[in-house]
Amino acid sequence: MDRAALAAFLRTRREALQPEDIGLPTGARRRTRGLRREEVASLAAMSTDYYTRLEQERGPQPSEQMLAAMARALRLSTQERDYLFQVAGRNAPSPTTTAAHVAPALMRVLDRLDDTPAMILSNLGEVLVQNRMSRALMGELTVYTGHARSEIYRWFTDPAQRRSYPEHDHERQSRAMVANLRAAYGQMGPKSRAGELATVLCEESAEFAELWERQEVAKRFADHKVLIHPELGPIEVDCQVLFTEDQSQALLVLTAAPRTEAFEKLQLLGVLGNERFPVSS
């Protein structure tokens, strides 16, 4: 671990990132160049003291998870992320690592989406980052670990996962998720995490195993769907998807038509967030 190089890199990348780059107001009395340390710490979900010690060459060696979180917070490119890992004494992540690095281009778009639910997912259905509206609508989806990080795995192994969709839509959702995983399997190969996930699900879910044998392949996100909020009930939303060039990540944006009941429900969620309407995972 090169403490001096790590500290210098974190400091310069923090100072190069402006508040408006991550959707924060600039503020008339702002004295700090770039972001404040506490802002980076908040974005990375770590304590300000921990991050400050890293910039002051006093902190312990960060874990791979911490480094991935800082890379996302600082909106690092893939090359910058790899350098961060290297000066911290860690191996740079491989393309199939569980610490998926969010594409900076998608993050820049997500940073500007504050009035409608949006999230970035991996090609295995892992939610990598959400905005506040997405958390209010669907709960915190970034807390899962292991195979459960994938919504595909949870869909076929956890009955509670299906409560967010009307029962009549379950079959279509099942087929879409298996087709998405089949597309990732073709892209990543049988010895990849996609292959591992398919093998585990074939063993744990007869429904998945039957659908997997159909060989359906597609990167599908329904253009229109109904989500069930535990307090507000059904909410009809339209889905728009923006993929990275290599198709490994997608920005999913959910909107409702103006002057509709669903639009009013999303506006209510935007005002009250998940404080009054807790969403169970």
What is the predicted pLDDT for the residue at 49?
A: 93
pLDDT in tens, 70-90: 988 888 887 888 889 999 999
Domains in the chain and their CATH numbers?
3-87 (1.10.260.40), 104-272 (3.30.450.180)
List Cβ<8 Å contacts ≥24 apart for 20-28: 21/75, 21/108, 21/111, 22/75, 22/111, 23/111, 23/112, 23/114
CB 119 within 8 A of CB 253: no
Under-70 pLDDT residues of the chain? 23-32, 94-100, 220-222, 273-281
How high is the pLDDT of residue 91?
A: 85
pTM score: 0.70
Report the C-alpha gap between 6 and 62 in whole angstroms: 10
Tokens of 26: 């600039």
> What letter does residue 20 receive in the DSSP assignment?
G
